[in-house]
Amino acid sequence: MNTPQLRSAAWFDGDDEVAVLHRVAAGITAEDRGRPVIGIADTSSQLNPCQAGFAAVLEPLERGIRDGGGVPLRFPVMSLGEDLMKPSAMLYRNLVAMELEEQVRAHPLDGVVFLANCDKTVPSALMAAASTQLPSLLLLGGARSAPLFAGRRLGSGTDLWRALENRRAGTLDDAGWQQLEETLACAGGGSCNTMGTASTMALVSEALGMALPGSTGCAVGSAELADLAYRTGRIVAASAAAGAPGADQVMTEAAVANALRLVAAVGGSTNAVIHLAAIAGRLGHHLNLAQIDRLWAEVPLLADVEPCGSQLIHDFHDAGGLASVAAALLPHHLLDPGVVLADGRSLADLAATAPSDQTVIRSYGDPVLPAPALVVVSGSLAPDGAVLKTAASSPELWQHTGPAVVFDDYADMRARLDDPERVVSPDAVLVVRNCGPVGVPGMPEWGMAPIPAALAAAGVRDMVRVSDGRMSGTSFGTVVLHVAPEAAVGGPLALVTDGDLIELDVAGRRLELLVDAAELERRRAAWQPAPDEHLRGWPRLYRDHVSQAPSGCDLDFLASPTAASRRFVPPVVGRS
Ligand code: FES
């Protein structure tokens, strides 16, 4: 068998002064020469507690790379933490994907392990992997623990939002609220322990063949996570040494379709739809929302995990994770059994290892909720579509018509939601607009307006809400998200005024603004985009080039499959 030409050879082979300089700079010894160099893209940061688990897995990861025949070299990458980064880590997802691509392009790397754990680090790594086209895998950093509060385990995000509802309804006092904060602080680092965006994207990574099966819900700091790290390093090094296909070849169209159906089956985050559209765009498998709705049509909710169920992500992991969900769906021809996973097994082979207990991950015939768990709606209020997680919503609101209560942006919502002068009826439809990719910019998780305090105190627990923003994967409610086109670019959401009737029809997949066409034309003629505030740097570049949600909110100059091959090396690898 021919030894594949390593990309790093362009830097390290030879005996001139340039090759010497390169080998010395990278610490390449005589023994290392001819081995693939495996980059470890390290997103650890004290500004991002979700990535805290990586310190403990670096040693086994590097050992795995060495044992696989490679040379590990670690480099830092910007970290995207959901909680502290404003206006939203989503604003920076594409920046990190681009940073990763450029780091890989500029350096002598033959393969990459991406350390990714929080909501946006995972999709940014998958996008970069698609574009850099090298053998690569993600190493996920583990899920955080679940401390007890009032006798039950606290689910990240979901139980904070529930407590907020109770506080607004007057059933949780200040002492209880403070006790909740102290308990949350005991959870430590790691990804959210619910089926939020991070867990959903972890499962997506497994389904795409980009993370080892069993990664989702693996406990932070566990011996199992250390073993996953070792095996990840070993596989990537061995793949690079063997000239195995790059990540762009691993993430097939069938794998993307599997991932979308799995998202529905686990009641996964709506954010995954945007991320998968972006990943698919970079692979040349263009998705549209109608196609996605068809994929979801027969997929029920199988995972009894918060926010759609009662258990936590550790329980999902212990119940077999991907193996068990696949075992439930494969007999119904809802997944492609031949998709190859990161450890080389097919999905069907993995499903054959699923445990028999079906308490947390149910059978297809005994689901947590019937299909569909997610839907796409469209109509006069969302001509290019919007997404609703039916599994986290109220069936009695699936056919609903109510008067709009409009908030022009997030600040307006925060300021006026509880305005005693503004009477909001329980059948109202709360509209929060100008939260889209262009509007903020960055499309924060501002779509889920809380129930107005007066209604919450009266026992109202859900209302129809409509937004061009996103919501946390740990959230719940009848919230229609990602309305496209967004208000900031003149989508119909911009034309809604208080009192307009809005109709949501889940069965018909419709979202309608019941205002006659002539009136809408009059409003459109009067509509003005927001003044172009002075933006500079990345937000400027982002706003000028970002696509709408159905296309994944990628930047137009990054969104297509790259022409740069995995063997890309600069035309001249000389002195810098
Ligand atoms: Fe980082 Fe949930 S906030 S994983």
Q: Same domain, yes or no, for 340 and 444?
A: no
399's enclosing H/E stretch is: strand 399-407
Please give the DSSP secondary-structure letter assigned to residue 191.
Answer: B
Q: Same domain, yes or no, for 88 and 157?
A: no
Distance 6 CA to ligand 1 centre (A): 36
Whether 82 lines ligand 1, by a CB cut-off of 6 Å, is yes
Q: Same domain, yes or no, for 434 and 488?
A: yes
Tell me the best of 46, 115, 118, 215 to mutate to test the pocket of ligand 1, counting ligand atoms within 8 Å of each CB and taking the most.
Answer: 118
Atom index in ligand 1 nearest the CA of residue 48 equals: 1
Q: Same domain, yes or no, for 111 and 167?
A: no
Tens of pLDDT, residue by residue, the chain (576 residues): 456 789 999 999 999 999 999 999 999 999 999 999 999 999 999 999 999 989 999 999 999 999 999 999 999 999 999 999 999 999 999 999 999 999 999 999 999 999 999 999 999 999 999 999 999 999 999 999 999 998 999 999 999 999 999 999 899 999 999 999 999 999 999 999 999 999 999 999 999 999 999 999 999 999 999 999 999 999 999 999 999 999 999 999 999 999 999 999 999 999 999 999 999 999 998 899 999 999 999 999 999 999 999 999 999 999 999 999 999 999 999 999 999 999 999 999 999 999 999 999 999 999 999 999 999 999 999 999 999 999 999 999 999 999 999 999 999 999 999 999 888 999 999 999 999 999 999 999 999 999 999 999 999 999 999 999 999 999 999 999 999 999 999 999 999 999 999 999 999 999 999 999 999 999 999 999 988 777 899 999 999 999 999 999 999 999 988 765 555 677 667 777
Look at residues 351, 367, 383 and tell me which one is the last residue of a structural domain: 351
- Report the number of distinct structural domains present in the chain: 3
CA dist., res. 339 & res. 337, Å (int): 6
The reply to whether 485 falls in a domain is yes
Q: Same domain, yes or no, for 452 and 336?
A: no
Tell me which residue range forms the domain holding 484: 375-526
Whether 85 lines ligand 1, by a CB cut-off of 6 Å, is no
What CATH number does the domain containing 399 carry? 3.50.30.80
Whether 269 lines ligand 1, by a CB cut-off of 6 Å, is no
455's enclosing H/E stretch is: helix 453-457
Tell me the best of 191, 269, 471, 475 to mutate to test the pocket of ligand 1, counting ligand atoms within 8 Å of each CB and taking the most.
Answer: 191
Q: Same domain, yes or no, for 225 and 159?
A: no
The reply to whether 370 falls in a domain is no
φ and ψ at residue 150, rounded to 5 degrees: 50, 40
Q: Same domain, yes or no, for 284 and 340?
A: yes
Whether 196 lines ligand 1, by a CB cut-off of 6 Å, is yes
Predicted TM-score (pTM) of the model is 0.96
The reply to whether 364 falls in a domain is no
Tell me the best of 156, 158, 312 to mutate to test the pocket of ligand 1, counting ligand atoms within 8 Å of each CB and taking the most.
Answer: 156
Whether 439 lines ligand 1, by a CB cut-off of 6 Å, is no
Atom index in ligand 1 nearest the CA of residue 190 equals: 4
Atom index in ligand 1 nearest the CA of residue 81 equals: 1
The reply to whether 567 falls in a domain is no
Q: Same domain, yes or no, for 201 and 173?
A: no
The reply to whether 391 falls in a domain is yes
Whether 101 lines ligand 1, by a CB cut-off of 6 Å, is no
Look at residues 134, 156, 187 and tell me which one is the last residue of a structural domain: 187
Q: Same domain, yes or no, for 125 and 154?
A: no
Distance 281 CA to ligand 1 centre (A): 25
Tell me the best of 43, 80, 93, 119 to mutate to test the pocket of ligand 1, counting ligand atoms within 8 Å of each CB and taking the most.
Answer: 119
The reply to whether 82 falls in a domain is yes
Q: Same domain, yes or no, for 396 and 425?
A: yes
Please give the DSSP secondary-structure letter assigned to residue 372.
Answer: P
Whether 263 lines ligand 1, by a CB cut-off of 6 Å, is no
Whether 198 lines ligand 1, by a CB cut-off of 6 Å, is yes
Look at residues 485, 510, 526 and tell me which one is the last residue of a structural domain: 526
* Buried-state track 131-143, b at ≥16 Cβ within 10 A, e below 16: bbbbbbbbbbbbb
Q: Same domain, yes or no, for 110 and 64?
A: yes
Residue type at position 321: G
φ and ψ at residue 285, rounded to 5 degrees: -100, 85
Residues 41 and 246 sit within 8 Å (Cβ to Cβ): no
Whether 192 lines ligand 1, by a CB cut-off of 6 Å, is yes
The reply to whether 573 falls in a domain is no
Q: Same domain, yes or no, for 445 and 514?
A: yes
Among residues 41, 38, 45, 33, the alpha carbon closest in space to that of 9 is found at 33
Distance 49 CA to ligand 1 centre (A): 8
